[in-house]
Amino acid sequence: MPESLAKGWRRGHVVVAIDGPAASGKSSTAQWVAGQLGFRHVDSGALYRAATGAAIRTGVPSAEWTPDFVLEQAQRVALEPRQTSFAPRIDGADVTEEIRGPAVTGCVALVAQMPMIRSWVNARVRDVATHFDVVVDGRDMGTAVFPDADLKVFLVADPWERARRRLVQRLGRRPTDDEIADETELLVRRDAADATQTVQARDAILVDTTALTQTEQVDRIVALARAALRTLREGVDGGS
């Protein structure tokens, strides 16, 4: 934690939780925010992917995976602290690139639906937050995982804009309107499926990023975080 933020701070490690629907930019935003604050970014999605990658490495077909089997393979996963993030490892090997490949992408949804694996991911994220100041992103981060987070942000954006951003990232070019329309339909369907799970915490700050650039939304959240930290720091100083 930078000295400018840490001075007088004696409460313990800080948690900034970023939630939001699919393709709302949670992970990329959280990564940038962590860098600006001098915190570490915890990508909960990387844990699901690493657990999936560990299961794939066994050679057992995904159709035969059980929650107990995937949980057993997940024990091979570790997070290595980096300057502003954590590198996922399987059996000690860095798998940052591997878990973003098509093999893992094709199976991770199956793993993410397993309550046993969700509990494992949430426990790992909580454990990391006991040792480091973190910015965490992912479903339920501001509700079930960190109900007492120091700052909770819920990102939203128009489905069309979310679809456009996702396609730009995926294709590396400007998508056509037809491509955006197709992707928007997929996102709307996913939103409906996730509606009971992606819930804004009552004390979360809603940030609509539809008309914001990446830099603007990061700057807004960083400003919110610094304001929250000042308030917390003053509370600690006032009670000492």
Q: How far apart are CA 218 and CA 162, in angstroms?
A: 16
Last residue of a domain, one of 101, 132, 163: 132
Residues 30 and 84 in one domain: no
- 51: pLDDT strictly greater than 80: yes
pLDDT of residue 7: 36
Domain coverage including residue 49: 43-132
Is residue 27 domain-shared with residue 78, that is, in the same domain?
Answer: no
Q: Comparing 208 with 10, which gets the higher pLDDT?
A: 208
Residue 127 and residue 145 in one domain:
no
Which pairs count as long-range contacts for 223-229, CB under 8 Å and 24+ apart, including other chains?
224/151, 224/153, 225/16, 225/33, 225/37, 225/151, 226/5, 226/37, 228/150, 228/151, 229/5, 229/9, 229/14, 229/150
pLDDT at 1 over 80: no
Give the integer Cα–Cα distance in Å for 74 and 48: 9
- CA atoms of 38 and 5, how far apart (whole Å): 9
Region 1-6 average pLDDT = 41
What is the phi-psi region of residue 6: left when phi exceeds 0, alpha when psi lies from -120 to 50, beta otherwise?
alpha
- Mean pLDDT is lowest, of 165-169, 171-175, 194-198, 211-215, for 194-198
This prediction's pTM: 0.85
Q: Are residues 127 and 140 in the same domain?
A: no
Band (6; pLDDT cuts 50, 70, 90): very low
Band (pLDDT 50/70/90 cuts) for residue 11 is very low
123 occurs within a structural domain: yes
- If one counts the domains in the chain, the total is 2
Same domain, 47 and 160: no
Average pLDDT in the chain: 89
Q: Are residues 148 and 217 in the same domain?
A: yes
Query: CB-based burial of residue 191 (10 Å sphere; 0-12 exposed, 13-18 middle, 19+ buried)?
Result: middle
Do 78 and 192 reside in the same domain of the chain? no
By mean pLDDT, which of 21-25, 46-50, 160-164 is the weakest?
21-25
Main-chain phi, psi angles of 170, to 5 degrees: -75, -45
| pLDDT of the residue at 140 | 82
59 and 91 inside one domain: yes
Residue 233 lies in a domain: no
Judgement on whether residues 205 and 127 belong to the same structural domain of the protein = no
**4 in a structural domain:** no
Q: For residue 195, name the pLDDT band (cuts at 50, 70, 90).
A: low
Q: To the nearest whole percent, how much of the chain has pLDDT over 90?
A: 73
| Residue 235 confidence (pLDDT) | 66
pLDDT of 85 > 50? The answer is yes
Last residue of a domain, one of 82, 116, 132: 132
* 17 lies in the same domain as 49: no
Sole residue written with tokens 């501001």: 142
Of 54-58, 62-66, 122-126, 190-194, the poorest mean pLDDT is in: 190-194
Question: Tens of pLDDT along 141-185?
Answer: 999 899 999 999 999 999 999 999 989 988 999 999 999 999 999
CATH code assigned at 59: 3.40.50.300
Distance from C-alpha of 114 to C-alpha of 62, rounded to nearest angstrom: 13
- Of 111, 132, 153, which one is at a domain's C-terminal end? 132
Q: Is residue 239 part of a domain?
A: no
Examine the domain organization and report whether 126 and 181 are in the same domain.
Answer: no
